[in-house]
Amino acid sequence: MPQSIAVWRSVRLHGDTKTEKSRRTLALPQSAVAALREHRKHQAEARLAAGPMWQDTGLVFTSSVGTPLDASHVRRDFRSLCKKAGIEGIWAPRELRHTFVSTSSESGVAVEEIAHLAGHASSRTTETIYRHELRPAITTGADVMDRIFISTT
């Protein structure tokens, strides 16, 4: 069985996912597995450095002393990473869902499968809220007009 992540709980008030369909187990890409293994090594080093201050919460991503991350710090660090990567604008981690849906769609994955992966109850949510056009301009009309008028001149 491939490495996977079980999405059965949430950070929502009662700890439950938004809908029953949101509960799913997703296989992880090998690049994510490798990154998580590397992260585990860094976290073990942080645990040693923190010594008795370390709080073992069982979380994958923690502060330097093992405590849960504060949402505002996560957003700040994410914006910093985006800036380092040359990504303009103000971005937040929640927008990664939109990126996943849009790049999957652009790569030819069926919208029904993307909806299933994203935990959407309906592919309509996927199509109308999360999927965005990645190409800077729709060129079909211009291409057709160029073929028509260039071939007749």
Residue 134, pLDDT > 90, answer: no
Give the model's pLDDT for residue 152.
60
Same domain, 51 and 96: no
Same domain, 1 and 64: yes
Domain membership flag for residue 150: no
Domain membership flag for residue 152: no
When mean pLDDT is compared across 26-40, 110-124, 134-148, the lowest value belongs to 134-148
Same domain, 76 and 63: no
Among candidate residues 69, 96, 113, the one where a domain is terminated: 69
Phi and psi at residue 92, to the nearest 5° = -130, 155
For the chain, the domain total comes to 2
Same domain, 52 and 89: no
Same domain, 55 and 83: no
Among candidate residues 24, 52, 69, the one where a domain is terminated: 69
Same domain, 5 and 60: yes
- Round the average pLDDT of the chain to a whole number and report it: 87
Same domain, 85 and 56: no
Residue 153, pLDDT > 60, answer: no
What percent of the chain clears pLDDT 70, i.e. is strictly above it? 88
Among candidate residues 45, 69, 93, the one where a domain is terminated: 69
pLDDT tier, 137 (very low <50, low <70, confident <90, very high otherwise): low
Same domain, 51 and 83: no
The residue with greater pLDDT, 13 or 100, is 100
pLDDT in tens, 52-97: 999 999 899 999 999 999 989 999 999 999 999 999 888 899 889 8
Best-predicted range by mean pLDDT (13-22, 49-58, 115-124): 49-58
pLDDT tier, 112 (very low <50, low <70, confident <90, very high otherwise): very high
Domain membership flag for residue 143: no
Range of the domain at 118: 70-138
Same domain, 85 and 106: yes
pLDDT tier, 132 (very low <50, low <70, confident <90, very high otherwise): confident
